[in-house]
Chains A and B, each alone.
Chain A
Amino acid sequence: MTTAYSSTTTLPNLFGRGAPATPRLRVWWTGLLAAAAWLTLGLLTRAWPNKLIGFSDWAYTAEFGAAACIVGALLLAIIVLGRYAERIARRLRPAGAWLIALPLLFGAWEVLTAKLGLLPTPFFAPPQNLIEVYGEDWRRLGDSAWHSIRLLFHGVAIGTLLGFLTGVAIGWSRAVGYWVHPVLRFVGPVPASALLPLAFFAFPSSYAAAVFVISLATFFPVTILTWSGVAGVNRQYYDVARTLGASEWFLVLRVAIPAALPQVFVGLFMALGAAFSVLVVAEMMGVKAGLGWYLTWAQGWASYANMYAALIIMAVVCSSTVTLLFVLRDRVLSWQKGTVKW
């Protein structure tokens, strides 16, 4: 029987004080079950003929089945190799239950669409159809994703910079607060996408208009949270710094801003959500590129599989952006304890 090497050590802690548990040899049953599930998915996809609707069969059915079989075989190999594949096994172990759930989901999806044809065809495509889309349209999808990322970056960067500066200025100076606060209260809550039609004719290009509206959507939450961060700084921090001879600039740069940073990151997190939403709307309305544009384009051709493919890419892009933000935060705010892990 196969045995898998395993130790019960968790992630190494920061101080390296965790005593390593004594290694034990035991079979990774969850992994074995996952391998079986993937192999079953692959064999089922290949052996069970698709239900034909119209005249064409789904392309890439055999390939999809083969891919599932390969995943199953790799999992099996990791288990059989035991201590030789220990590092990979240790990384996979926490995902064990998901490795079982995924082939089950894919199986249900495959059976309901390609095999039984229970879900109406133009709207629900089987998994292999997504492979087909990615294989045939990767150039346009990649181009769209790149355009979206670039637009998002420009908008968010400008909005964050201006929002941060404005937030610090309102939090610090009563005079700036007097003038900016009412404007912020009146204009801030307006959904940024409502300004899109206005922006499209006010700006020389639809790209510039979209950058403006995305930066506006980013600006508002970043400003408010930076401001509240600066305003909420423990007064005693200032007293301490002042008795030690700190200048006004020192108080802003070395006391107020570092103390407000946790709040700034909350603002950025909220801002990203708003920015994603405005980005897609802008691309659907006027910008002739990007994933939002691709979605409307695919809908126009009733090619729903392309839409799913674009949505999946969008999920990857947005999720990665948020992950990046959290990685940045964990680096900048490493002095904090007990922060939420994304």
Chain B
Amino acid sequence: MSAVLQDRPVAAPRGARIEVRQVSHRFELAQGPLPVLDRIDLAVQPGEFVALLGPSGCGKSTLLRLVAGLEPASSGTLTHDGAPIARPHPSRIVVFQDPTLFPWRSVWDNVALGLQARGVLKAERARVDEALALVGLRAFAKAHPHQLSGGMAQRVALARALVNDPSLLVLDEPLGKLDSLTRMTMQSELVALWQRAGFSALLVTHDVEEAFFMAQRVVVLSDRPARIVAELRNTLPYPRQRGSATLADLRHEALRRLGLDATW
């Protein structure tokens, strides 16, 4: 168990409670407003793992940006433990589809970014090593991003998020660009990290299998402008078996809701 996680009592719930109420959002384009989100209602309980599943370009990532505080919503309210979300905060960390490591920084310096930005790096250097150990990349601390494989780079991005001890981890298709084998391994690793650290997790994906393998609750979104068309609960205990019949039933149900029943 890493000391990153030891500074808080393990039993106490430390995940964020996120509430999204009647949130609509549109982009103001030259051709006129483009609605992307349509009255979204969503709650993430402390320590819960929720997946947002929807077709490509439906507005899932936009919803994540609103939750992260990177953009204000056109209408509706978003709260984090009851307080409105107005700007980014290091307690809600986003892991993007691209690892977006800073190429001019070594792996260690990349992971240290959040601590440095908040001016606490000097006191908490050990946390960087611990976060690197957590994702199994301690030996690569001095490497530069261009020397890493896609999976390793995404692990570094994960360590860069975890070092801040977030109460909400926002995952924007973090495994979307990895090969399928690396992807499956990292799905299990992410779930294990979530179980150990106890943060709330909000995952955006368009991979039906990934959503049900990882999340406790899957929110199915429609095409743009995104509406919630279904919420499917997955009560299977972790670690989950990919071949389980319950998972297959859930996948079938999700595909039906997405209008892809004919492909089953």
Interface size class of A (residues with CB under 8 A): 20 to 34
Q: Determine the distance from Cα of A155 to Cα of B94 in the docked complex, in whole angstroms.
A: 46
With an 8 Å Cβ cutoff, the count of chain B residues facing the other chain is: 27
* Among A45-53, A246-254, A272-280, the stretch in contact with B: A246-254
Report the tally of A-B residue pairs with Cβ distances under 8 A: 68
B118 touches which of A240, A245, A261 (Cβ 8 Å):
A245
How far does the Cβ of B70 sit from chain A's closest Cβ, in whole Å? 6
- Whether A73 is near chain B, meaning CB under 8 Å from some CB there, is no
Q: Give 24 A-B contacts (CB < 8 Å), ordered by A residue.
A: A236-B96, A239-B70, A239-B96, A240-B94, A240-B100, A243-B68, A243-B88, A244-B90, A244-B113, A244-B160, A245-B88, A245-B89, A245-B90, A245-B118, A254-B116, A254-B117, A258-B104, A261-B104, A335-B103, A335-B106, A335-B144, A335-B145, A335-B146, A336-B146
At the interface, is chain A mostly helix, strand, loop or mixed? helix
Taking Cβ atoms with an 8 Å cutoff, the residues of B that contact A are 68-70, 88-90, 92-94, 96, 98, 100, 102-106, 113-114, 116-118, 144-146, 160, 164
A234-B100, A245-B114 are known; give 15 further A-B pairs, CB within 8 A.
A236-B96, A236-B98, A236-B100, A239-B94, A239-B100, A243-B90, A243-B92, A244-B160, A245-B90, A245-B117, A254-B116, A254-B117, A258-B104, A261-B104, A335-B106
- Whether A33 is near chain B, meaning CB under 8 Å from some CB there, is no
Taking Cβ atoms with an 8 Å cutoff, the residues of A that contact B are 234, 236-237, 239-247, 250, 254-255, 258-259, 261, 333, 335-337
A241 touches B104 (CB 8 A): no
In the complex formed, the residue of A with least CB distance to B90 is A245
In the complex formed, the residue of B with least CB distance to A244 is B114
- B89 proximity list for chain A (CB < 8 A): 243, 245
B117 touches A241 (CB 8 A): yes
- B68 proximity list for chain A (CB < 8 A): 243
In the complex formed, the residue of B with least CB distance to A338 is B146
- A255 proximity list for chain B (CB < 8 A): 102
Which of A243, A261, A336: most chain B CB closer than 10 A? A243
